[in-house]
Each structure stands twice: as C-alpha cells, then as structure tokens.
Copies of this chain bind each other. A is one copy, B any other.
Amino acid sequence: MSEALHILKRHQLSNTDSRRTVLEVFLQSESALAHQDIERETGERFDRVTIYRTLQTFIDKGIVHTIPTADNGTKYALCRENCSEGHHHDNHVHFICDVCGKTSCLDDVAIPSVRLPEGFSVTKIDMVVNGICVECR
C-alpha cells in the first residue's frame, strides 16, 4: 500500500483522488508548499476550493501544519512529529531562503525557550528565520 494511502487510513480519511494526490505531492517535496504550488503540482486537476478543503482537513487531522510567510501568505508542510487530531506539537524552527524562496522545516532545530515577563504564560511559539539556505550560499 502506498505511503499516501497509509496516512489516509491511519487518520480515518476516505481515499479520494484529491487527497491521495495532494499527499503524494507533499511526500515528494522537500520544501513547504503554497496553495498555488499544490494546484500546479497536481496538474490543475482539482478545483481551488477542493484543495483548500483538503488542506484544512489535513490540518485538522494533524497531517500538515502551516507556516506563516513574511508576505502574509501561508505555506504547508507535513508534520513529522506525532501530531494528532486537534493538536499540533511542532516545536521546530522554520527557515525561508531569501534567494531561492524555499520554506523549510528545520526539524532538528528546536525553538529555544524564552523567558517572558512575570505573569505571561505561553501556549504556542512560532519562530521563522530568514536567511540564505545551504544550497544557495
């Protein structure tokens, strides 16, 4: 059974053309993908709305997570850690290359802890680093 199918099964999602295809695109991609990238990579076979809904489903199930980009766009990437329905616990830094524009999960780079002023509590931390990636230097 294909990896994509396996993931769908594991999250009790029905095996539809768009879900399988979108998942395969993610599995083959090394960097995070924008909605447009997915439209293109799937050969424009699916309606924009279907892709939006597919992505939302994947987020809800903990299959992908979103990454905020500098220009207020969203990119999507597979969750490597064990995210579950309704709860993501990605704790890694995201990197955006100023040259090639690729957005990547630095899965091995944990977000450092930070000491907040008295009385503030933390539920979530996002850390996005811009710079030049190893391939573009």
Give every chain B residue within 8 A of A129 (Cβ-Cβ).
Answer: 114, 116, 120, 122, 124-126
Bound Cα distance A117, B106 (Å): 8
Contact A117 B112 (CB under 8 A): no
Spot the interface stretch: A16-24, A56-64, A67-75. A67-75
A70-128 interface with B by 8 A CB criterion: 70, 72-74, 93, 95, 98, 106, 108-109, 111-128
Bound Cα distance A127, B137 (Å): 24
A133 within 8 A of partner (CB): yes
Contact B127 A126 (CB under 8 A): yes
Closest B-chain residue to A130, C-beta based? B124
A134 within 8 A of partner (CB): yes
A132 within 8 A of partner (CB): yes
Give every chain B residue within 8 A of A134 (Cβ-Cβ).
Answer: 117-120
